[in-house]
Amino acid sequence: MKVWSNGKQSLYLLNFSPAEREGFTEGATIVLDATVGKYGFGLLRSDEIYVFRNMFDSPRYLSEPAAEFISIQSEGNFPSQFTYQFAHEMGHLMAQSWRRHRKVGSHSWLEEAICGAYSIYCLREALNRPGSWFQQHLPSYFVDYIEPNYRPVTIDVTWYNSFAIELAQSDHLTPTIKLLSRLIADTFPRGSFVQDNKALLDVPLNPDVSRYLQDWESACSSTNNVPKLFRTRLGL
Ligand SMILES: [Zn+2]
């Protein structure tokens, strides 16, 4: 079922119940408004984006198909959980992460951190949308899940040095990476990091993380950007 379109691209919710589609459509629309509505799509493999449930796997932006598929691991009609997962995977889609997935020099932890920031940013947008289902129901999800898992901590060179090896080996969102997501979401509360995420499309793979961040910074259109934040905070 098509639930959103901007005239060119369309979003389809596949194997969800009618009640779920109703609840999830509002969340998906808020995510799309806050991301592609403000910053546009980059290159896509297809103009149709398909979202489906797969309980046998973590939420995922599929690398293999020659089209845009996102799988969600939601066991019922939980719009907050759907929106949280969908926002993260939209980050991967907007940066076309299949181009970097499991390749040497891609530094997955950086992309996971920024995708985690999509979740926080989009849920905050949902929270502030007047009259939305989320205004009434989302605060408890924030208190129970977002605040404890994405808590604000001091992130500096010392912090990075204690986690550098762990981060370099991470290929999915981890508790440590979630702390970086919070840093991004709080530093760019209006969502300009979405633009920086899209700039990843132009960054050549490089095993040297400092060089990778420098190239990413050069590809960003704004002078205040995520790679610059990482380079200054983490001493890279
Ligand atoms: Zn991810």
Ion ligand 1: residues, CB < 5 A: 112, 115
Residue-averaged pLDDT of the chain: 96
pLDDT tens-digit readout, 57-71: 899 999 888 899 999
- The pTM (predicted TM-score) of the whole model is 0.96
Tokens matching residue 156? 């500096």
Contact 134, 126 (CB under 8 A): yes
pLDDT tens-digit readout, 89-130: 999 999 999 999 989 999 999 999 999 999 999 999 999 999
pLDDT tens-digit readout, 2-13: 999 999 999 999
Tokens matching residue 120? 């926080």
Contact 50, 70 (CB under 8 A): yes
Task: Give the pLDDT score at 65.
Answer: 86
pLDDT tens-digit readout, 161-176: 999 999 999 999 999 9
CB atoms within 10 A of CB 46: 13
pLDDT tens-digit readout, 13-33: 999 999 999 889 999 999 999
Instruction: State the DSSP code for 143.
Output: I
User: From ligand 1's centre to the CA of 59, what distance in Å?
Assistant: 8
User: From ligand 1's centre to the CA of 137, what distance in Å?
Assistant: 25
User: From ligand 1's centre to the CA of 131, what distance in Å?
Assistant: 30
Where do the domains of the chain lie, and which CATH numbers do they carry?
A: 2-99 (3.30.2010), 108-234 (no CATH)
pLDDT band at 150 (very low <50, low <70, confident <90, very high): very high
Alpha-carbon span 154 to 13, nearest angstrom: 39
Spatial CA neighbour of 74 closest among 52, 47, 94: 52
DSSP string, 5-58: E-SS-EEEE-S--HHHHHHHHHHHHHHHHHTHHHH-----S-SEEEEEE-TTS-
SS3 102: coil
User: From ligand 1's centre to the CA of 109, what distance in Å?
Assistant: 9
